[in-house]
Amino acid sequence: MPFMTMEHADLPNLARDLAAAGRRLMLPVREGAELFFREGVDAARLDLTAIPKNSIKEALFPKCDRILKYQYEGREVAVEDIEPPDQPTVIFGARPCDAASLPIVEPLWNWDYRDKFFNQRRSRTVVITYACRQAPAEACFCVSVGLSPSTEQGSDVVLYPLDEKTVAVNLLTEAGKALEGAFAKYRKGQAEDGAVQSFREGGLKSLAHRKKLDKVKGWLDAHFEHPFWEQKTFQCLGCGTCTFLCPTCHCFDIQDESVFDGGTRWKNWDGCQFGLFTLHTSGHNPRGAQPQRYRQRILHKYSIYPDKFGKILCTGCGRCVAHCPVNLSLYDVVASVQELAEKGE
C-alpha cells in the first residue's frame, strides 16, 4: 500500500496544527549544542537533525510527579488523591528507539498493580516517530537489541524522511489514523512501498557493524560472580547519567515535601547506580560497591526484565554510551559479554 508523502519543511506546521487543537506537544528543539525533547515550545523550533539528549519518557513518567497531597488539621490528616493530566499529548519526532521504549515499560507499570500516573498519560499520548535514514549517532545500537532504525514498535505514526525534502507517512494505529485529517492538509503525493523498503534497508545497513547480543543473557545467568564485572566496570563513577537519559530506566523514589501543615508526596526519578538506592537502615548494603551496581543495571536490562516481561529493557538508543562521563560504554560491556560467551569463557 503506498504511503502519503509531505514536505519535510511542513513538519513544524503540522506540529503547530496538532498543538493548536488543544494537545500538549513534546518535540525536539535545539538548546546550545544539544537537542532536547521539550514541552510548551514553539513548533517552529522543531529540530530533527540529531537524537535528543533526553528521552521521551518524561512525557509519561516525569522526573518529579505529584502522587498525593496531605493536610494536617490538628491530629487529623486529610489525604487528597491527585489525578494525572488528562490532556491529549502528541510526542512529535520521537526516534524509533524512544517510541519502542513505551511498550517495553508498560508491563512494569501494570505488574499486578496499575500505576495510573503512567497509564493515564500513556492512554492520552500519540507518538509520531521520525525514523532514521542513517543511524543518527555513533553510539546507536538498536539493531543489537532486535530493533531497527525504522522500528514501528510503540509508534502511532512513523515518518520516513526519504530524502532531504520528502517525508513518507505511515499511520499505524487507530490513534495515528485519527490524525489523518491533520496530515491530509500537507499531502503532496505518494511513495511506493519500495521507496520505504529501501529506506528501511539503508538504516539497517548503517548499523551492520553492530553485534548480535543473542548469547548475552545466557552468559549473565551463569556468571553473577565473575572477575569481568570488576575489571570491566570499575571505572564507573556511579553518577547515574545513564539511568536518567535511558528511555527504559524507570526506578523511582517517593518523597514528601511540606509547606506548613500540608504538602505533596512525590514520585521522583532514582537510579540503581547510587549507593543510597539499596542502603539498609542497619548500614548493610546489598550492592555496596559500584561494580555490583553496574552489574545490577546490566542484569536488569538483559536478563531479569526479559525473564519477567519477555523484553530486553534497552532500545539501543546509545544515550548511555554517548554521555557517560568516563566513556564506559554499555554497548561495549554487553558486546564484551557476547564475546566471552562466544569464546565459551
Strand partners, 168: 5, 160
Of 160 and 266, the one with the shorter C-beta distance to other proteins is: 266
Q: Which residues pair with 80 in a beta bridge?
A: 69
Tell me how far, at minimum, the Cβ of 344 lies from other proteins, in Å: 21
Query: Applying CB under 8 A, which of residues 50, 251, 322, 340 lies at the interface with other proteins?
Result: 251
In contact, 329 and 272? CB cutoff 8 Å: no
Joined grid coordinates for residue 269 = 526519578
Q: With binding defined as CB under 8 A, does residue 255 bind other proteins?
A: yes
Give whichever of 95 and 287 is closer to other proteins, judged by the CB atom. 287
Instruction: Give me the sign of the Cα torsion angle 139, 214, 150, 45.
Output: negative
Which position among 47, 70, 146, 322 is part of the footprint of other proteins (CB under 8 A)? 70
Exactly one of 2, 39, 44, 72 binds other proteins (CB under 8 A); which one?
72
Q: How far is CA 234 from CA 109, 237, 240, 269, 304, in A?
A: 32, 8, 14, 24, 22
Is residue 277 involved in binding other proteins (CB under 8 A)? yes
The 111-140 contact track toward other proteins, x by CB under 8 A, reads xxxxxx--xx--------------------
- CA dist 39 and 121 (Å) reads 14
CA nearest neighbour of 300 among 243, 232, 225: 243
Q: How far is the CB of 141 from other proteins (least distance, A)?
A: 23
Q: Answer yes or no whether residue 287 interacts with other proteins by CB under 8 A.
A: yes
Q: Which is nearer to other proteins, 32 or 113 (CB)?
A: 113
* 241 interacts with other proteins by CB under 8 A: no
Residue 332 phi, psi (nearest 5): -60, -40
Question: Which residues are within 8 A (CB) of 185 and not within 5 positions of it... i.e. 6 or more apart?
Answer: 14, 17
Question: Tell me, what amino acid is at 18?
Answer: L
Nearer to other proteins, 235 or 268 (CB): 268
Q: Which sign, positive or negative, has the C-alpha torsion 270, 271, 272, 277?
A: negative
Question: How many angstroms separate the CA atoms of 18 and 10, rounded?
Answer: 12
Binding of residue 75 to other proteins (CB under 8 A)? yes
Residue span 307-326 as binding mask against other proteins, x where in contact by CB under 8 A, dash where not: xx------------------
Smallest separation, CB 292 to other proteins (Å)? 7
Using CB under 8 A as the criterion, which residues of the chain lie in contact with other proteins when the complex forms?
67-68, 70, 72, 75-77, 79, 81-82, 108-109, 111-116, 119-120, 224-225, 250-256, 258, 263, 265, 267, 270, 272, 277-282, 284, 286-287, 292, 296, 299-300, 303-304, 307-308
